[in-house]
Amino acid sequence: MKGIPRFAAGALQALALLGLAVAGTHARAEGYPAKPLVLVVPFPAGGAVDIIGRMVGKALGDRLGQPVVIENRAGAGTIVGASYVAKAAPNGYTLFISSGSTFTVNPAINASLPYDPIKSFEPVGLVARVPLVVLANRNVPANSLKDMVSLTKAAPDKYAYGSFGTGTTGHFAGEMLLEATGMKLQHIPYKGSAPAVADLIGGQIPFSVDTVAASLPHIRSGKIKPIAVTGATRATALPDVPTVAESGFPGFDADAWVALAAPRGLPADVRVRLDKAIAEVARDPDIQKKLLANGLEPAYATPERVSAMIDAELPRMRAIAQRAGIQSN
């Protein structure tokens, strides 16, 4: 560089390189995504998380300008899907949508896991809550939680309750309910909501704890009865059904939530793009309307808030599992 002192030429070269680096960062942000994304759902098709995943995937793809392909990798209480995502490249093309089971329940009931609930993932955002409800066969002489407690305490060895699997949020809510009320019911685990609800309708089990999403059509048809919602607030789809807390057990709160996550180590620009997109999806009135129609609750929380939820819930679930003797199959 003629006429420019050597130190000044070096400075100009450094500034030029810095400019190229900044331009490259913007190019990466603008270039993502350049191909379809995969959203792993660790549950079979048709369940609450799968329904949420398909809604969110479509809306996310619309905002990112690339299709989002749903890939169901069910098994072992979300462990199959979670371990697959934990090993995927952290480039934003493999995403994960799951209930809190992956992050707080599995670590509470498994001595070891093929993934770390904290170190393997980074949350992108909470997208929905999944209300749980205590249910009864329509021929059982109980229409409220008070009735249920009186009935079962009068014959403590006679009654049982079903859930959609050992170590699921339904199982944990059921055991929390027994602890709060003093009821003694045998737990009957099923492989999913569909067989549990079918046996409840058929009278093979008198009670169950399941999602509002899975049970809503049968509640509306009168085939089963809702006793109480287990969350802190009433379910929008069941406005006349009281919570457990309203039924005489203050402070009771046991619901499920669903969050989007990615393998830990996302590039900063990709992370920003995903965080912004999922916040828009979760707040979209059309998405919220569809969630409510399926017995689900719209909810959004930032990645930082989801991380705080996991940190708070994990020791609580471990304590419940220890007291109730809940272990993985």
The confidence score (pLDDT) of residue 192 equals: 85
| Domain end among 229, 247, 267 | 229
Residues 114 and 170 in one domain: no
- Give the predicted TM-score (pTM) of the model: 0.84
Q: In this structure, what token pair is assigned to residue 313?
A: 């819930």
* Across 9-23, 74-88, 137-151, least confident range: 9-23
Say whether 84 sits in a helix, a strand or coil.
helix
DSSP assignment of 156-207, as one string?
TTT-EEEESSTTSHHHHHHHHHHHHH----EEEE-SSHHHHHHHHHHTSSSE
Position 30 confidence tier, pLDDT thresholds 50, 70, 90: low
Each residue's pLDDT tens digit, 88-106: 999 999 999 999 989 999 9
In a domain, 12, yes or no: no
Question: What's the whole-number mean pLDDT along residues 303-327?
Answer: 93
Q: Are residues 93 and 124 in the same domain?
A: yes
Residues 51 and 119 reside in one and the same domain? yes
> In this structure, what token pair is assigned to residue 59?
């809306």
Q: Which of 194, 229, 264 is the last residue of a domain?
A: 229
The verdict on 114 and 158 lying in the same domain is no
DSSP percent split of the chain into helix, strand, coil, nearest 5:
45, 20, 35
Closest by CA position to 162, among listed 108, 111, 202: 202
The CATH number of residue 170's host domain is 3.40.190.10
Q: Are 270 and 264 in contact (CB under 8 A)?
A: no
Q: Of the spans 28-37, 73-82, 256-265, which averages the highest pLDDT?
A: 256-265
For residues 261 and 171, membership in a common domain is answered with no
The confidence score (pLDDT) of residue 329 equals 65
pLDDT at 23: 40
The parent domain of residue 172 ranges over 132-229
Task: Over range 287-314, report the average pLDDT.
Answer: 94
Q: Same domain for 49 and 114?
A: yes
Q: What is the mean pLDDT of the chain?
A: 90
Count of domains forming the chain: 2
**Which residues are 210's β-sheet partners?**
133
- The domain that holds 86 is classified in CATH as 3.40.190.150
Distance CA 238, CA 230 (A): 12
If asked whether residues 143 and 115 sit together in one domain, one would say no
Cα(316)–Cα(247) distance, rounded to whole angstroms?
23
In a domain, 20, yes or no: no
184 and 199 in one domain? Answer: yes
- pLDDT of 17 > 60? The answer is no
Q: How many angstroms from the chain centroid is the CA of residue 41?
A: 10
| pLDDT surpassing 80 at residue 15 | no
Domain final residue pick, 213, 229, 245: 229
Residue 4 lies in a domain: no
Q: How confident is the model at residue 191 (pLDDT cuts 50, 70, 90)?
A: confident
Higher pLDDT, 195 or 44: 195
113 found inside a domain: yes
Q: Is residue 159 part of a domain?
A: yes
Do residue 315 and residue 301 come from a single domain?
yes
Flag whether 199 is in a domain.
yes
Please indicate, yes or no, if residue 291 is contained in any of the structural domains.
Answer: yes
In a domain, residue 177? The reply is: yes
Encoded tokens for 295: 């017995």
Per residue in 39-92, pLDDT (tens digit) is 999 988 888 899 999 999 999 999 999 999 999 998 888 999 999 999 999 999
pLDDT value of residue 43: 86
Q: Are residues 224 and 137 in the same domain?
A: yes
How far apart (Å, rounded) are the C-alpha atoms in residues 232 and 234?
7
Q: Percent of the chain having pLDDT more than 70?
A: 91
Q: Which residues are CB-neighbours of 208 under 8 A, at least 6 positions away? A: 134, 135, 161, 162, 163, 170, 196, 197, 200
Collapsed DSSP state (helix, strand, coil) of residue 285: helix
Answer yes or no: do 190 and 207 share one domain. yes
Residues 88, 170: one domain?
no
Phi, psi values for residue 6, rounded to 5°: -60, -45
Tokens 């919220």, residue located: 288
